[in-house]
Amino acid sequence: MKNAALKRADAGAVEKAIAALHAKLGNKVVTSMEVRRQHANTTTWLPNEAADVVVYAASTEDVQDAVRIAAAHKVPVIAFGTGTSLEGHVNAPLGGICIDVAQMNEVLAVHAEDLDCVIQPGVTRKKLNEYLRDQGLFFPIDPGADASLGGMAATRASGTNAVRYGTMKDNVLSLKAVLPNGEVIRTASRAKKSSAGYDLTRLFVGSEGTLGVITELTLKLSAIPEAISSAVCPFKSVEGACQATIATIQSGIPVARIEFIDAMAIRATNNYSKLSLAEAPTLFLEFHGSEAGVKEQTERFGEIAAEFGGGPLQWTTQAEERTKLWQARHDAYFAMMSLRPGAKALATDICVPISKLADAVLETEKDLQDMKLLGPIVGHVGDGNFHVSLVIDMDDQDELSRVKVFLDRLTERAHRMEGTCTGEHGVGQGKMKYLEAEHGPVVLDMMRSLKRALDPDNIMNPGKIVAI
């Protein structure tokens, strides 16, 4: 069921809203096409759909002012952090007001004893970790890009550390959000756990700006481990690498990172970074703990790997050598891009139960080969989550149609294997078409009911997740 709201806001209403914004927020309001297009930037092939106006909010009150004006004129609101989302989350298909929160980038409090902090949504994860380092604390979620934490919460981001530290769903204790009517809520207290009513925190995490604009976050922090060990281990086969991952987790080794890179991605990084790694399916690992603990964990992993055709295992606890050892993983993205100069990368992700991972990767590799597509695979295999980074000539229409078929098949595979069409990128615009196959029509209706109940005029990031 779609309702009439899914159309562009009336031009007169937009004009009035922009006038009201100018009057209320002065030079925080920008309407130049260049700025508007920058804010609708996506890293995929989705067309750029610019908002009508960009507001640089400096406070929760600014956000409230902008949302109240949007509500009064029934004009869409699109929240913007760093624009590193991957599925068109910040596009404005119906126009409207883009609220850029990047300048709301203060760390408001660090409670070291409670292992939490309170921040504004524009703080990026790297900035937060720099801020925290002196106190022996860190925020573990690492999606790759130096994304804003507000955006990471909105898309339920995760990344390489999730196998041990969880995703944004597990690391946001509470948040403040401006609702579609301009009112502000705080979803929970600072207590580590609560059973006091519906879990609004988790409802906002992953809601992609469709229920409100996040203006403050209370995040769970972790202690910087005493020792970190990094390891790299090539395998004879994809199955071997996946089986070793399963056995490692089953045996209770608290691995902090366990990343898979397929042979093609290794070849790419060998070329790009002048390395000479074996061109084989490879696991990159990190262990966190005491000096003795990480040594024991690493050695036990080495024994498990050997059982599944893995080795030789290289590992170190020295910071500089760790960086070098993981260089191929760090450089993977640029290495992939270098495979085809002038081409564009389209990153997609699925997540399956880990027992199905080897099959999922192998079928995907075969599809790539059969369809003559270039797409190295890297994955957070401890979670059964992997990415295909398609490197595409965007001017080749035939290639583009093959990519579309490939993506549909990839998602169909995830569903057939009891998995999800996106482990960490989110739905945005790009994956809306897969939701009904994933959840069924009753769940989609339920999601629409939720959205309608909380945003009856459908002004919050319309046209994303479940368009109503």
At 322 the three-state DSSP class reads helix
Q: How far is CA 37 from the centre of its chain?
A: 22
Instruction: Determine if 186 is a binding residue for its own copies (CB under 8 A).
Output: yes
CB of 368 to its own copies, least distance (A): 22
Dihedral sign for Cα 69, 71, 73, 74, please.
Answer: positive
- The verdict on 134 binding its own copies (CB under 8 A) reads no
Name the minimum Å distance from CB 356 to its own copies: 8
Question: Given the structure tokens 């956000």, which residue do they identify?
Answer: 63
Q: What's the token pair of residue 245? A: 């991952």
**Contact positions with its own copies (CB under 8 A) in 444-463:** 446-447, 449-454
Q: Work out which of 82, 91, 167, 429 binds its own copies, going by CB under 8 A.
A: 167
* Closest to its own copies by CB, 213 or 354: 354
Long-range contacts of 58-64 (CB under 8 A, 24+ apart): 58/28, 58/103, 58/104, 59/104, 60/104, 60/176, 60/178, 60/184, 60/215, 60/216, 62/25, 62/28, 63/99, 63/101, 63/178, 63/213, 63/215, 64/178, 64/182, 64/183, 64/184
Q: Which is nearer to its own copies, 105 or 222 (CB)?
A: 222
3-class DSSP assignment, residue 430: coil
What token pair was written down for 451?
A: 């959205």
Contact pattern from residue 375 through residue 414 relative to its own copies, giving x for each residue in contact according to CB under 8 A and a dash for the rest: --------xxx----------------------------x
Helix (H, G, I), strand (E, B) or coil at 167: coil
Of residues 351-370, those binding its own copies (CB under 8 A): 351-355
What would the x/- binding string for its own copies be over residues 215 to 244, using CB under 8 A?
A: -------xxxxx------------------
Shortest distance in whole angstroms from residue 392 CB to its own copies = 23
3-class SS letters over 170-219: HHEEEEEEECCCCCEEECCCCCCCCCCCCCHHHHHCCCCCCCCEEEEEEE
Asked if 116 is part of the footprint of its own copies (rule: CB under 8 A), the reply reads yes
Considering the complex, state which of residue 355 and residue 401 has its C-beta at the smaller distance from its own copies.
355
Contact letters for its own copies, residues 44-63 (x by CB under 8 A): --------------------
Of the candidates 228, 235, 227, 246, the one whose C-alpha atom is nearest the C-alpha of residue 313 is 235
Stretch that binds its own copies, among 10-18, 25-33, 111-119, 233-241 (CB under 8 A): 111-119
Q: How far is the CB of 377 from its own copies (least distance, A)?
A: 17
Region binding its own copies by CB under 8 A among candidate stretches 40-48, 189-197, 267-275, 371-379: 189-197
Among 422, 429, 458, 461, binds its own copies (CB under 8 A): 422
Contact flags string 296-335 toward its own copies, x per CB under 8 A: x---x-----------------------------------
* Residue span binding its own copies (CB under 8 A) among the ranges 56-64, 66-74, 94-102, 247-255: 247-255
Ramachandran class of 455: left when φ > 0, alpha when ψ lies in -120 to 50, beta otherwise: beta
In the structure encoding, which two tokens stand for residue 72, read together? 């009064």
- Cβ distance to its own copies smaller for residue 369 or 449: 449
Q: What residue has token string 């910087």? A: 224
CA gap 213, 79 in Å, rounded: 6
Helices of type H across 205-326 = 238-250, 263-273, 291-307, 319-325
**Shortest Å, Cβ 315 to its own copies:** 17
C-alpha–C-alpha distance, residues 122 and 110, integer Å: 16
Candidates 292, 319, 394, 405: give the one binding its own copies (CB under 8 A): 292
Residue 120 Cβ, how far from its own copies at the closest point, in Å? 18
Q: Which residue lies nearer to its own copies by CB, 221 or 328?
A: 221
- Give the binding-site size for its own copies (rule: CB under 8 A): 96
Q: Which helix (H) or strand (E) holds 282?
A: strand 282-289
